[in-house]
Every structure is written in structure tokens, then in C-alpha cells.
Chains A and B, each alone.
Chain A
Amino acid sequence: MTALPLIIDTDPGVDDVAAIMLAAASPEFDLRAVTTVAGNVPLDAVIANAGRSLALAGCSDVPLHAGAGQPLVRRQVFGRHRALGTFGDDLMPVAPVATSGRSAIDVLIETAIEAAERGQPVTVCALGPLTNLALALVQDVRVAAGIDRIVVMGGALSALGNRAPWADFNMLADPHAAASVLRAGVPLTLLPLEATFQVLVTEADLQRLERVGSLPARVFARLFKASDRSDPARFGRPGGPVHDALTVAWLLWPDLFRTQDAAIGVATTGEVQGYLHADFHNIGDQPVNASVVRAVDERPLLDRIIERFCALPDPAGTHEAAAL
């Protein structure tokens, strides 16, 4: 089986690190590029975090590209865990970080057009605000044809929001980009909060990563604890979600996810700016434009993710991290 050509568009973010690690640990993917966008933290911090994450996962050779530093239209907001900023040296091993010098948006455009011409469209996991994808899709009509599917972490249907009462962070941070991408005619799989809230990493899981795992697994456990994602009052049990990692997991193990087609859109105006609405029953007579994840088989999924994390080798030249 040939590896799936994949681009990760990301704004790390702790759960973004999990997505990058899972992709890196999976031979099913041909990870072509990591494109960065301002989101959870400002762009400089995003780039530093993404570069260190790639190095941690043994993927320093994957090109890293700097993308949009601000949303299309609205005033900039950052994520709830912004205080983490650039991951400290005590949390994430230091590694040299170099961007390509090319714009992430240009890379998305060129990669997609070339992929379309070769008849081998790429898949994009979109883990942050959709600014880069919107700026790429609006420029050239051939870009859409070169993207096989966009797997988006975003939206809050019944779970309601995490950054506003009505919106998840990614939709809230750039609702105009989201609305633009949803109109682009690219097949899309959506992982909204009620799906990602179904997969909670527990203390026992973290202990397993620390005990059994290699350096990447241990670093991830430490990062996860530092961001304190547990919210028993909301989730009804202990543990914290790994939102973005589920986009990569869906590509790997779709059998563990139940999806439902819907016509989805995002409010760009008014009091609920950033609200993602999904019509599962053709009430609005709009064409279906997304496959929305409704249910996830939590335990086998977490076991498989942890298994992949634990199999990641220690990255080369990590002596400075030996003290961990």
C-alpha cells in the first residue's frame, strides 16, 4: 500500500503535538510538510513549537513553513492555554528550528496544483484556524482539485464551546476563513468538540506513556500534564481531550469512528460569530459538504495511539534531554 500524502496545518498547542507525533509514528503517511498558522499561540511560538515537535518525533527532515500570522478579518484571539506560549526547555527538548523561507500558503497552493496534475491529491489535517487554507483556496481554482480531503478539528454542536459558549477555538479564531473553506467544494471530515470530548487521556494513560515509553512519549505526557486539560465537572469523569490527534487517528482507523453527512456552515456575523451549524436532516436544503464525526470508540483508539507513541524512537542527538 502506498503511503497517504499528508500535510499538517497546525498551531501547536499541546494536542497539535500529539497529532504530529501520531503522524510521524505512522508509516501509513507520507508527511510532506507542516504548515503553521497563528492560533493557540502567536506565530513565532507556533513555529518554535512545531519545529521542536517535529524534531522530537524524528521528523526534522519534514519541511516546516511559516503561514498566516493573523486571521482574515476579525481581531486576533489566542487559545486558552496561551500561557504555555513557546514550550519551555523544561517541557520540550531544545532542537534547532528552521522554516523553509517559503510561505505556507504558497506551499499549499503549489503542492495541491502539482498533486492535481499528477492525479494524486493530498490530504490536509487542519488543526488550527483555517486561515492558511482559505488564503490558498481563494487564489487558484486548481487548489481544490489537488486536495483529496481536509480533516478539520473544529466546531461545537451539542457540546457547545470551549473558547466561547457557542464556539470551539478554531472556528472562533477565524470564522471567515472557515466559512470560505467550507464553500470551496473540497471533501471535508469534521471532528467537533463532542467527538473529541469522547476520548479522554487519563492519569493511567500518562503513567503508561512515562513508564513504557521512549523520550517522545514521556515528553508528551509531561506536556499534557502541564496544560491540565482535565475537567471532571464537564466531562463527567477524569481525563483530558487530545482534540487534534483525532484527525490523524480518523485517517488511520476510520473503523473506530462513526460519521454522519451534514451541510455545515459557520456564522461570520452577529453575537454567535464562529458558531458552526450542522444540518444532518436536510432541513435547510443545502448540499452536504462534510462528514461529521458523531461517535468514537475511545478505549481501542487510545490504546492504539499510546502504542504508536511508545514505539517512537528517541530522536537522534537528544543527549541534552537525557536528564529527563
Chain B
Amino acid sequence: MAPAVQPRRIIIDCDPGIDDAIALLLAFASPELELRGITVVSGNVPIDLTVRNALQICALAGESGLAVHAGCHRPLVREPIRGLFSGPTGLGKLDLPAPTRPAAAQHAVAFLVETLTDAADRGAPITLCTMGPLTNLAVALRVSPAIAVGIERVVMMGGAYQVPGNRTPVAEFNILADPHAAHVVFSSGLPITAIGLDASHQALSTPDRVALIEAGGGALSRAVGDLLRYWDRGDPVRFNGPGGPLHDPLVIAHLLRPQLFATRAAAVAVELEGALTLGQTVPDWFGQTEAAATVDVVTEVDANAFYGLLAERLASGRRRVVA
């Protein structure tokens, strides 16, 4: 059955990564979304592996026609750092067949510039879903500032706003991995929904929730079960039990069910100078700076409803709308 409303046009920019992989599978299973392409960036693992992982996840879901564009191979200024929780390949212990097709010939930045310029020209802006360091989008904005008109909104996994960081005491990984790119995006004036650790640490992959997903029974549910088993932080002191914070799928869930999320508007600046605070996201809740409050920071998420949605979509095998 066709969806009741026009599907939302999106591009996913990611660095798979276990949670990116689950987010991609959720997007594939969501007919409300028209996925125009996947752009990949160096992040959790080096670019060769993030590209390979994106292609493998596409193949797992039967999305062999969806373009995967390889993007920037390192951050804008700083040396690369890597994720700690996705394993050496980036997909934990999930063993998937080698990709049978290459990435698209067009670079991720060129794809963003071309697609968003076209979206601007046609008055049909696109929502950008970012799940990794923001290098690709920042470079695209500096190469071609006019693409901002073609962006409906950036829905981002990144930052730590009222909670501690996960890679340093104050910084979240995606922002810390390319703080200068994050600065470019947050200072762009674009409307942003920021889903940070404030949200994802409320959405822990507890054993009950993993069991709920696995009960779906199909290949996707089983694969995500495997990924989430690997995702267990084994840090009950921080997380009050087994499991891990499931960051990136919240981006897709926010597009599907915004009513599950509470947000608060703020201007957000990124710390670029501090020896202890590099990559900290600094929200201005009370208008103390001159900056406009262009960022909707997610403060709360209905985690049970989120995991219910994820389990249901992975089990249903419903297919996305093909662009």
C-alpha cells in the first residue's frame, strides 16, 4: 500500500559503524522515506571500511541499486580518531559476504553538491541525516554555500548537551572526530535537529529490547541482534546494566515518529580551542550569545516506543520507496 503522504526525501551521511548499520536497515524498511543516496565518511573506521560496510548492509537488505558515495578520507583539520565499540571491521562480529559492486564513481561531496543544488533549483529541499563526523557536509558547504537552500533540515547524531561526553569527559565522538566540520555545520544557519548522548543514553540496548528485536525472526532482525550483542558496553556502572546507547537509529526514528522525542531550541557552538574541552557542544539555552537558536536539541526520547518501532520495522520487511 502506498504511504498516505509524500515520502520525505533524505540523504544518509554515515560511517558504519554498528549503530549506523542499524540506522540504515531501519531507513530501508521505512516507506515514509525516499532515500536519495548514501554518503560515507571516515569515522568509526577508515573510509575503505565504512564504504565496504555500507555496501554490505545494502546487500543484506536487498538494496543493491542504492548508490553509495565514498566521501572524505580524513577530518578537515585534525588527525583521525576511530570509534571504540564497532570492532576492527566496524560491524562487530557480523560476517557478511564481500560486496559484489563498487561504490559510485561520484564522490560524496560532489553528490551532495549536485543533488542539493538540484533540490534548491526545484524548490524540493532534502533532509540530511548525518550519523558520523560532519566532514562531508562541511566540505560541501564551503565548496558550494548555495546548497544550503536545498537542505530542508539536518537531523544529526552528534554532541552531548546536558550530559557528559563519551570519548572525553565533555565531547561526543562524532563532534570530537571533526570539531571543525561540526563548527561549519552548527554556524551555517541551517535548521538542525541534534540527537546527542542526552537522547541515546536514554535508549539503551537492554537484553529485553535485544530479545524483542530478535523475536522478529527474519534475517534483518537476526543480524541486528548479532550487532547489538557486540554493542553491549559491559559497563553497568555507567549504564545501570548491560547494553549500550543506540545512537544513530534515533535519527531515522525521529523522522518517522517525532512525537517520541522532546526537544529544546538553542544556538550551539563547538569548542575548538580548549585543551580539555575540544569538541564540546555548547548550547545557549537562554539567549546569552548573539547567535540564533537554530538547533532543536533532543532532550528526551520514549525509548520503549523507539525499540518497539525498530523491532516492528526490521521484522516487517516492508520496503522503502525507490527514488
Residues of A at the B interface (CB closer than 8 Å) are: 68-70, 72-73, 103, 105-106, 109, 131, 134-135, 138-141, 176, 179-180, 183, 268-270
Stretch of B68-76, B96-104, B192-200, B251-259 on the interface side: B68-76
* Contact bitstring B267-303, A, C-beta under 8 A = 1, else 0: 0000011000000000000000000000000000000
Known interface pairs A135-B142, A138-B135; A73-B107 also in contact (CB < 8 Å): no
The answer to whether A131 touches B142 (Cβ under 8 A) is: yes
Chain B residues with CB under 8 Å of A103's CB are: 113, 143-144
Pair count A-B, CB < 8 A: 59
Is B208 interfacial (CB 8 A cutoff)? no
- Identify the 4 closest CB pairs spanning chains A and B, nearest first: A269-B273, A141-B73, A176-B77, A180-B77
Shortest distance between the CB of A112 and any CB in chain B (Å): 13
B170-202 at interface with A (beta carbon < 8 Å): 180, 183-184
The answer to whether B72 touches A183 (Cβ under 8 A) is: no
Q: Chain A residue with minimal CB distance to B143? A: A105
Give the number of residues in B that approach A within 8 Å (Cβ atoms): 24
Is B223 interfacial (CB 8 A cutoff)? no
Is B309 interfacial (CB 8 A cutoff)? no
The answer to whether A73 touches B110 (Cβ under 8 A) is: no
Beyond A138-B73, A138-B75, A268-B272: 9 further Cβ-contacts under 8 Å? A68-B142, A70-B145, A72-B76, A73-B184, A106-B143, A131-B142, A138-B72, A139-B107, A139-B109
Known interface pairs A68-B142, A72-B142, A139-B71; A134-B76 also in contact (CB < 8 Å): yes
8 Å CB contact of B77 from A68, A105, A179: A179
B123-144 at interface with A (beta carbon < 8 Å): 135, 139, 142-144
Q: Chain B residue with minimal CB distance to A103? A: B143
Most buried by A among B71, B135, B139, B143: B143
Q: Interface SS of chain A: helix, strand, loop or mixed?
A: loop
Is B95 interfacial (CB 8 A cutoff)? no
Known interface pairs A135-B139, A141-B73; A73-B79 also in contact (CB < 8 Å): no
Shortest distance between the CB of B145 and any CB in chain A (Å): 7
- With A and B bound together, what is the CA distance between A231 and B72 in angstroms? 44
Known interface pairs A73-B184, A103-B144, A176-B180; A183-B73 also in contact (CB < 8 Å): no
Q: Chain B residue with minimal CB distance to A141? A: B73
- With A and B bound together, what is the CA distance between A135 and B184 in angstroms? 13
The answer to whether B109 touches A269 (Cβ under 8 A) is: no
8 Å CB contact of A180 from B76, B113, B145, B273: B76
Q: Can you show 13 pairs from A to B with CB atoms below 8 A apart? A: A70-B145, A73-B76, A73-B183, A73-B184, A73-B272, A131-B142, A135-B139, A135-B143, A138-B135, A140-B107, A268-B77, A268-B272, A270-B273
Known interface pairs A106-B110, A138-B73, A138-B75; A72-B184 also in contact (CB < 8 Å): yes
Chain B residues with CB under 8 Å of A138's CB are: 72-76, 135, 139
Shortest distance between the CB of B106 and any CB in chain A (Å): 11
- With A and B bound together, what is the CA distance between A128 and B55 in angstroms? 40
8 Å CB contact of B143 from A68, A183, A270: A68
Chain B residues with CB under 8 Å of A269's CB are: 272-273
Chain B residues with CB under 8 Å of A179's CB are: 77
- With A and B bound together, what is the CA distance between A179 and B110 in angstroms? 24
Chain B residues with CB under 8 Å of A140's CB are: 73, 107
- With A and B bound together, what is the CA distance between A109 and B272 in angstroms? 28
Shortest distance between the CB of A263 and any CB in chain B (Å): 15
Most buried by B among A70, A106, A139, A269: A139
Chain B residues with CB under 8 Å of A270's CB are: 273
Chain B residues with CB under 8 Å of A180's CB are: 76-77
Shortest distance between the CB of A42 and any CB in chain B (Å): 13
The answer to whether A73 touches B180 (Cβ under 8 A) is: yes
Q: Chain B residue with minimal CB distance to A183? A: B79
- With A and B bound together, what is the CA distance between A140 and B180 in angstroms? 18
Chain A residues with CB under 8 Å of B143's CB are: 68, 103, 105-106, 135
Chain A residues with CB under 8 Å of B73's CB are: 138-141
Q: Chain A residue with minimal CB distance to B179? A: A73
B3-32 at interface with A (beta carbon < 8 Å): none
